[in-house]
Amino acid sequence: MNKFSVVIAGGGSTYTPGIVTMLLDNLDQFPIRKLKLYDNDEERQRVIGEALEIVLRENAPEIEYAFTTDPDEAFTDVDFCFAHIRTGKYKMRELDEKIPLKHGVVGQETCGPGGIAYGMRSIGDMIELIDIMEKYSPDCWMLNYSNPAAIVAEACRVLRPKAKVLNICDMPVGTLRRMSQIIGKQPKDLDVRYFGLNHFGWWTSIKDKEGHEYLPEIRDYVAKHGYLTQVEVDTQHMDQSWQETHKKAKDLLAVDPRFLPNTYLKYYFYPDYVVEHSDIHYTRANEVIDGREKEVFSAAERIVEKGTAKNESFSAGSHATFIVDLARAIAYNTHERMVMIVENNGAIANFDDDAMVEVPCIVGTDGPEPLSQGKIPEFERALMYQQVTVEKLVVKAYVEGSYQKLWQALTLSKTVPSAKVAKALLDDLIEANKEYWPELH
């Protein structure tokens, strides 16, 4: 088997140790000759980088390893780039969540005004990262799971349409794990049909390899319990706020009982509920800072201090599992079936061809081939058209430096009650993001 060279862009992320753990656990299926971390925050990456240097020395000393802030060193001789960058870090995520709440609007990192603000910050850095990759390793594949995935994917489609970039999200994988727990199956034993946009979709079928349909059984369970399971299946989505989100799925299902909903739909279907149950002084960003951030960095610091990773471990959630499966599909042409974000081009028959949709794909060495999902109902189609137009307007606003188009995007968002509120929000977000956004006219 060929051995591969991998760079993780966003090396200082708390998700990086889990991805490295998953890579090490799967060296028999995806052999690695070189592993590099790349970040523009030298100090943040140093803590993770030094800890993982010890992990690799003790578990896979044959792998050449480095962590760097130099793009030449990071991207020269690379087969795969795993990208999970966060422009503005958690300081800006906190503002993405708290500024909208100040206006009585949903504060969430990928949905509504917070997602739009985050998207405007992310586009420039993502395009720069693609250009660096293509300069130093033009045959490299980028597996991008930087949020907000929908806006980032649209920006890639518009600004770098020929780049070897795969835009993905782990949420469908995490929810499928919950579904498999409900019916006593393994996720790998199930094939799904799904349509939507990123963080905005529905499952229409969950079958085992023999063709047995489990959707009615799962639907009955979700109608009573949401996606809460008796056994926790994913360390990544265990916090109290996530438990409440999984529980709320039963109310999402009630809106259209035919299909199983993506949990993020709660921000669009029940924005008043979300705002009412939010604490402007302590949002999800604070929960992550006090939880996963401290846990991962404390573990990394202990490893460095002791000089050994024995008795320490990093957990690999859906995030890490999915990325390794996707890399293997590209590397070995496994024709893995995976839900991915791709240009529609007829996959959803009655939806715009140039929309970036989230559907099951067969993945091989040429990338993803979307599977046809047929025509979708008018309710879901109308919701999706509204949301995809928001995403397109955000990218146009970025490219054109257009205040008007970004105001329109916020006004059109289902989470924002009026153009007046949208304008007040936009002016506050411009002030908060002046270091990151292009100038708007």
Residue with tokens 């199983």, as numbered in its chain: 260
Active site residue 220: no
Active site residue 264: yes
CA–CA distance, 360 with 224 (Å, rounded to integer)? 27
Set 264, 267, 268, 398: catalytic member: 264
The answer to whether 196 and 384 have CB atoms below 8 angstroms apart is yes
Set 79, 125, 170, 325: catalytic member: 170
Active site residues: 170, 264
